[in-house]
Amino acid sequence: MADENDKRESEEGLTLRVKYDEKSLAPAVVQDVKSGEILMLAYVNEEALRETLRSGFATFWSRSRKKLWTKGKTSGDLLKVREVLVDCDQDALIYRVEKLGKGACHTKDSQGNTRNSCFYRRIGENGQGLEFI
């Protein structure tokens, strides 16, 4: 019965209980609050989420560098968090953000401009390769 009550509280209650995976991470989809465009996907641990909520800027856990990073801290392309949504299972987040810089991606287009979103390619027809959007 306790497991059922925990599940009900997690799915229907108002207590934040993020379920991190075996690496203590949860995915965070980053969405432009104005346009609704998906900008990027990154991962947070408890510390990154706490820092995001404290500072108001999108902060993540770098899986490659094994440390916290605040998006745009070095590039100037900061993401101001306007709200954080949690899904029904509390194992995924959406950061709804306002871009304070030129874009959200660390890559640049052929003219050297910061890309607005990390999702700038799509899978081609019949799954053949990628094409720029």
Q: How far is Cα 132 from Cα 12, in angstroms, rounded to an integer? A: 41
Residue 100, pLDDT score: 95
Walk me through the domains of the chain, giving residue ranges and CATH numbers: 16-132 (3.10.20.810)
Residue predicted with more confidence, 92 or 74: 92
* Adjacent-strand bridge partners of 59: 70
Which of 113, 115, 132 shows the shortest CA–CA distance to 123? 132
Tens digit of pLDDT for each residue in 53-77? 999 999 999 999 999 999 999 899 9
Nearest 5°: the CA angle 73, 98, 34 is: 160
| Tokens 């607005």, located at residue | 116
* Adjacent-strand bridge partners of 99: 79
**Confidence (pTM):** 0.90
